[in-house]
Amino acid sequence: MDQMITHIKSWIYTAAEQIKESFDEDLQVETKSSRKDLVTSLDKQTQEYLTRQILNYDPNAKIMGEENGRDHLTDLSGRVFIIDPIDGTMNFVLEHENFCIMMAVYEDGVPQLGFVYDVMKDEFLWGGKKVGVFRNEQQIKAPKDLGMREGLVGMNTSLYKKNAYNCQKIGDHAMGVRMTGCAGKELIGIILGHRNGYISNLAPWDYAPGCVLLDALGMKFSALDGEPLKLDGRELFIAGTPTAYDEMRAIIANTAI
């Protein structure tokens, strides 16, 4: 496992260098499902680069990734890599920061390793249940189990705006609401104790890498209804410290806390 970790980190660091070099070039930006759903040549190139490295290393690996027609896997047996080449593409295009490269490794459906790299901050969260969780080269402990009232929650803009599932009430109970446009940064936030919770509508590559790390640290996450995440298309997603997660779920179920 150590050897695989070393390889994956070096692929992600190399991909990050390529992305940073692209800031000097003209980026090809296209829209996907709407004018707010962007994909760039760099998203596609980065996923292609990571895919090539994975298949050189393990020709039998299966790959699920956001781009290049790899967004669905029916069979999760064997070793599966889940890739989000650039999480926070809108931020990447408009801000040149606040985006992550992310990868998860599963074996026969069981999460093993997660990698979430905030490229411009040079903050790399990686690890898993067997190896522990690291921030760059330093192993980290679980954050404090703070309640919802004692910190910030990350929220999907549309859910909050529509007050879907009592999201505004959750925001009122928390000390504040944050919307970064980058699931990876929100999950790093929970891992580091900067956020107590996060609610969004996410695809497997948005949540799988961070959730491997959250799981290793005893944090809670699921579909919004409390069911296990399916790794199959977009789902309403909730994560948090154990206390904040339960409190948010109680508000979603419209029960008083």
The contact set with ligand IPD (CB under 6 A) reads 66, 84, 87-89, 156, 181-183, 200-202, 206
* End-to-end Cα, the chain, rounded Å: 43
Residue 198, CA distances (Å) to 59, 148, 155, 157 in order = 36, 10, 6, 12
Q: Which does residue 200 touch among ligand IPD, Ca ion, none (CB within 5 to 8 A, set by kind)?
A: ligand IPD
Least gap, CB of 188 to ligand IPD (angstroms): 12
Q: Which is nearer to ligand IPD, 84 or 118 (CB)?
A: 84
CA atoms within 13 A on the CB side of 42: 26
* Residue that has been written with the tokens 């004018």 in this structure: 35
Q: Phi, psi at residue 114, to the nearest 5°?
A: -135, 145
Nearest residue to Ca ion, scored by beta-carbon proximity:
87
Q: How far is the CB of 60 from ligand IPD (least distance, A)?
A: 27
Q: Which is nearer to ligand IPD, 111 or 181 (CB)?
A: 181
Among Ca ion, ligand IPD, none, what binds residue 118 when CB lies within 5 to 8 Å by partner kind?
none
User: Which residue's CB comes closest to ligand IPD?
Assistant: 183
Contact assessment for residue 233 and residue 251, using Cβ atoms and an 8 Å cutoff = no
| CA dist., res. 239 & res. 241, Å (int) | 7
Which residues of this chain interact with Ca ion, rule CB under 5 A?
66, 84, 86-87, 206
Specify the residue for token string 């064997």: 78
**Closest CB to ligand IPD among 105 and 182?**
182
Report CA-CA distances (Å) from 37 to 32, 89, 189, 205: 5, 8, 23, 15
CB of 182 to ligand IPD, least distance (A): 5
SS3 49: helix
CB closer to ligand IPD, 236 vs 243 = 236
* Minimum gap (Å) between residue 197 Cβ and Ca ion: 19
Between 46 and 243, CB nearer to Ca ion: 46
Q: What are phi and psi of 231, to 5 degrees?
A: 55, 35
**3-state class (DSSP) for residue 229:** coil
Nearest-5° Cα angle at 239, 238 to 245: 95
CB of 73 to Ca ion, least distance (A): 17
Name the binder of 202 from Ca ion, ligand IPD, none, CB < 5-8 A by kind: ligand IPD
Q: Which is nearer to ligand IPD, 83 or 244 (CB)?
A: 83
**Shortest distance, position 3 Cβ to Ca ion, whole Å:** 27
